[in-house]
Structures are given as structure tokens and as C-alpha cells.
Amino acid sequence: MGLTDKLTFHNGIGIPQVGLGVYKVSNEEVYDNVLSALQLGYRHIDTASFYENEEGVGKAIRDSGIPREELFITSKVWNDEQGFTNALEAFYRSLNKLGLDYLDLYLVHWPVPDLYKDTWRALEKIYEEKKVRAIGVSNFLSHHLDDLLRTANEKPVINQVELHPRLSQEEVRLYCKKNDILVEAWAPLGKGQYLDDPVLQEIAAKHGKTPAQVILRWELQSGIVIIPKSSRQERQKENADIFDFSLTDEEMERIDGMNANERLGIHPDEFDY
Ligand code: NAD
């Protein structure tokens, strides 16, 4: 059990269940950040054109010396890059910046109204052309998925949404489960804001773990892909050290009970696209 453990998409491709997120890490800082994670054994990196750090991520990947096929690299098409032609161009821009000849996963970052279906056609094209091993979405609610599935040729393999103990996303998780779409948590640590919660503190003390590790373990046992971010190597290590303990059913239920439908980010239907 560890950082190379994978969940499998409906198209048969595996994704390491734990990865590293690099939102808000500058292009300069991200090089050391990604190299340190790869040295610790991380094999899955989550970036996006919006993060403006794809060049640094790519350089770290190359300098790590790790064979490309052992890595899982995700990027995303941003809101002002949507539509069929724009999204195709955006994909190749990301690929060039990363210095790669294929991506493992490419996501529609947000469901931009009136555009996300055209964007999806572009993702289907690059998937058919084998430039990406899997395509998915992010910040899609059930109604967006319903709408997309009505006309799509390819079903998304994953939906990356804000998810943490205060926002457990029951509804979208159920929808995705029924449709064989994996769920991936962004802000899996709730951006570090809930670590003093007494329930998490108590469970952490019982296992000799930290509240951050308990949250990540709860997500892992819930079958969710996680991409915690940390720029500090000791925390990257801590966030990966979650394979040597298990939460009981009762502990899982107590953390489920922390849900308050509390968003740290924007509601997808209220985003000012
Ligand atoms: P996160 O929940 O991963 O929290 C990261 C923060 O938690 C860090 O900046 C640090 O302050 C703290 N932290 C990390 N490890 C810790 C530890 N062990 N102990 C205590 N504090 C710790 O939040 P995030 O970075 O917003 O989300 C993770 C990733 O998800 C991003 O980096 C990005 O790749 C992705 N993301 C995607 C979207 C989207 O719209 N698809 C939006 C936001 C983030």
C-alpha cells in the first residue's frame, strides 16, 4: 500500500489515488516542490494552465529521471480557453509548456455555460488521437453531467470537485458512483482550516497521527482520489504517510457527520464566468 496504489477509470486506465496539487505555487517554486514530492515517491501531479506553472512542473519531471510511464500528469483547460478550437489550442499549449508528448488526464476546469459541451468535443478528439489517456471534468454538478452525458461520445472518467469533511458532496458522489465516474477531491485538506476540529483531533490522537492524515485517510477509505498540496517536504511526507493505519466504521461515520455543505471556493452555478 502506498503512493503507487491506483484506482481504475471506466476506460481501464489507473490513477494513483494520492497525488500532489500545485495550485498557487509559482513557476519558480514548483520545480523544487515537484522534485521533492517525486523523490518521496509521489507519482501523480495535478496542475492546470491557470496555475501558470506547467513549465516548472515539466522541468522537474524531466530532471527527476523517473520514466514517463511511471508518472501520472493532469492538466486542465481554463475558462477563457473553452470552446472547440480554443480548447484544442489550449491542450497543445499545456503539452508544450510541460514538454511532454501526452498527458494522462485532461480536465474541463469549470463548466462554463454554453461552452463546456464544445470544449468536451475537443477533449474527445485529443483522446481519440491518443494525446491523452483519459478525459474528465472538474466542478461539474449533477445537472452539468446530465447535460453532458446526453450528447457525449465519451463519458468523463473523473469529476474533480471541492471535497473535505465540511463539504462531503454526497449528491455528486452518488451521481458519479451510479455512472461509474471517479470523484477527486480538491482542497482535500480543507486548505488546512479544520485541523483543530475536536473530532479530528481525538481520532488523530487515538491513531498517533495528525488531523491532516486523518482527513486524507477518510478520503482514501471513501474511494476518493486526493491531491493535497504542500510546498514543505516534511508535510508532503506527512500527507503521504497514510497507508499504515485504518479508520473504523464508527470513525468514518463521525467524520461523515462533520459535513456542513460549507464551500471554501465558489459554487459552480455562481461563478462569474
Ligand atoms: P489543500 O486542501 O490541499 O490545502 C493545502 C494547504 O493546507 C497548504 O497550503 C497548507 O497550508 C496546508 N497543509 C498541507 N499539508 C498540511 C499538513 N500536513 N498539515 C497542516 N497543514 C497542511 O488545498 P488546495 O491546494 O486548494 O487543493 C489541493 C489541490 O487541488 C490544488 O493544489 C490544485 O492542484 C487542486 N485544486 C483544483 C481546483 C479546481 O477548481 N479543480 C481548485 C483548487 C485546487
DSSP H/E element including 75: strand 72-77
> What pTM was estimated for this model as a whole?
0.98
Residues with Cβ within 8 Å of residue 63, at least 6 apart in sequence: 31, 35
Query: Which pLDDT score, from 0 to 100, does residue 1 have?
Result: 76
User: Over the stretch 160-205, which tens digit does the pLDDT of each residue have?
Assistant: 999 999 999 999 999 999 999 999 999 999 999 999 999 999 999 9
Tell me how far apart the alpha carbons of residues 176 and 184 are, in angstroms, rounded to a whole number.
Answer: 11
Q: Is 127 a catalytic residue?
A: no
CB 44 within 8 A of CB 71: yes
Cα 119 to Cα 135: distance, rounded to the nearest angstrom: 11
pLDDT for 155 beyond 80: yes
pLDDT digits (tens, 9 = 90+) for 24-70: 999 999 999 999 999 999 999 999 999 999 999 999 999 999 999 99
Q: Higher-confidence residue: 229 or 272?
A: 229
Return the SS3 of 180.
Answer: coil
Task: Please tell me the distance from the alpha carbon of residue 35 to that of residue 41, in angstroms, as a whole number.
Answer: 10
Instruction: Report the C-alpha gap between 19 and 230 in whole angstroms.
Output: 11
Residue 269: is its pLDDT beyond 90? yes
Closest protein CA for atom 11 of ligand 1:
192
Q: What is the pLDDT of residues 201-251, one digit of tens each?
A: 999 999 999 999 999 999 999 999 999 999 999 999 999 999 999 999 999
Region 98-114: mean pLDDT is 98
Expressed in angstroms and rounded, the spacing between residue 214 Cα and the centre of ligand 1 is: 15
Nearest to 214, CA basis, from 233, 231, 228:
228
Q: Which pLDDT score is estimated for 266?
A: 96
Calpha distance 98→93 (Å, rounded)? 9
The pLDDT, as a whole number, for residue 11 is 98
For ligand 1, residues with CB inside 6 Å are 21-23, 46, 109, 138-139, 160, 186-192, 195, 212, 227-230, 235, 238-239, 265
First vs last C-alpha separation in the chain: 41
Give, in order, the Cα–Cα distances in Å from 97 to each of 19, 58, 90, 246.
20, 7, 10, 39
Element (H, E) at 31: helix 27-40
Model confidence at 15: pLDDT above 90: yes
What is the spatial distance between Cα 222 and Cα 263, in angstroms, rounded to a whole number?
19
Q: Which residue has its alpha carbon closest to ligand 1 atom 42? A: 186
| Ramachandran category for residue 139: left, alpha or beta (phi over 0 → left; psi -120 to 50 → alpha) | left
Ligand 1 centroid to residue 227 C-alpha, Å: 7
How many Cβ atoms are within 10 Å of 269's Cβ, its own excluded?
Answer: 11
